[in-house]
Amino acid sequence: MRKLASIQRIRSLAPIPGADAIEKATVLGWQLVVKRAEFQVDELCVYIEIDSLLPEREPFEFLRSRSFRIRTVKLRGQVSQGICFPLSVLPQGTTIEEGADVTALLGIVKYEPPIPLSLSGIVKGSFPCFIPKTDETRVQVLGDLLQQYAGQECYITEKLDGSSATFYLRDEAFGVCSRNLELVEDAGNGFWKMARQLDLESKLKSLGKNLALQGELTGEGIQGNKLQLKGQQWFCFGIYFIDEARYASFDEWIALTEQLALPRVPVLDSAYLLEADIDSLLEKAQRRSVLAGARAEGIVIRVKQAGEHVSFKAINNEFLLHYGE
């Protein structure tokens, strides 16, 4: 689970050229602007990530004009993500422990963009328990993991900003799911339309295996269609073998998507040796989409070694700044 607000240490503080009232702080792998001399290096604070919606109450009143939402901003040329408060923002008696999740304690929730009507569909039930939900952790909180996997061969795909879609076949039953729910077949629903358009039920049946295809549905009517694609398109980013309870390796993913003639998210590098450096991964994420001229949302990095599913994302900071996220 993502910790939107947690107790963290100020790792470093550095001056911002031309600014004397503010300075740059590093918390986890995030950089943000703080008031000068408000914090000391190594001091614990409450760090609140972007995408947080803060409650409408006193210590957060100054964020009213920004609808209490924490977004990526640029101040004096410095990208700033998240916000730091002194520990005194916590209710009295809170146990102070580095890394502790204080999201619920502070009444913070995540900002979620509204789901378009054409995708919401009719709910059949919760997301199947035999398939993992799609999710990617941000590289900024993964410093230790980067150290652990440094030098390992990875593949990098472009992250597409759409809506997660899972299509599965299990014991002859074909199912279609949005990010969090399974949906009843319905000709008006975008996920089901795509399933039929790509003939996924017969394609999966031709394999004779219990399997889930996971990918991103993007295009018109979805998340502002930032890449200005025609109609809607689906791009596979993962395959899950249900009976073996494991994800397909890179080679299996390529082979199966070829065999079934399925579109894949763009592969940007298929032999990237992982650098244990958050900033260089963020730099890699700062790019244009290969599908269109617009800014890419970012990249997803996966360790190739079979038998392991180590996967995370680096979001393009220019994308976040441009779209006010």
Contact positions vs ligand ATP (CB under 6 A): 2, 51, 134-136, 138, 157-160, 164, 216, 237, 265, 300, 313
Which of ligand ATP, Mn ion, none does residue 167 bind (CB under 5 to 8 Å by kind)? Answer: none
Query: Nearer Cβ to ligand ATP, position 81 or 189?
Result: 81
Which partner, Mn ion, ligand ATP, none, binds residue 42 by CB below 5 to 8 Å per kind?
Answer: none
HEC profile of 160-186: CCCEEEEEEEECCEEEEECCCEEECCC
Output the smallest distance, CB 313 to Mn ion, in A.
Answer: 9
Residues 6+ apart with CB under 8 A from 287: 295, 296, 299, 316
**33 vs 296, which CB is nearer to ligand ATP?**
296
Greatest CA separation found in the chain? 66
- Tokens 């319905």, residue located: 186
Q: Which residue is nearest to Mn ion (CB)?
A: 135
Q: 23 is in the binding site of which of ligand ATP, Mn ion, none (Cβ under 5 to 8 A by kind)?
A: none
Q: How far is the CB of 215 from ligand ATP (least distance, A)?
A: 8
> In the bound complex, what is the minimum distance in angstroms from residue 246's beta carbon to ligand ATP?
16
- Residue 135 interacts with Mn ion (CB under 5 A): yes or no: yes
Nearer CB in complex with Mn ion: 42/135: 135
Question: Please, what is the Cα angle at 240 between 234 and 241, to 5 degrees?
Answer: 140
Q: Round to whole Å and give the CA distance between 143 and 145.
A: 6
CA distances from 163 to 5, 219, 266, 272 (A): 25, 10, 16, 27
Nearer to Mn ion by Cβ, of 135 and 244: the residue is 135
CB of 137 to ligand ATP, least distance (A): 7
User: Quick check: 198 and 240 in contact, CB under 8 A?
Assistant: no
* Tally of residues, the chain: 325
CB of 38 to ligand ATP, least distance (A): 27
Choose between 23 and 216: whose C-beta lies nearer to ligand ATP: 216
- For residue 127, the 8-state DSSP code is P
Q: Which residues bind Mn ion (CB under 5 A)?
A: 135
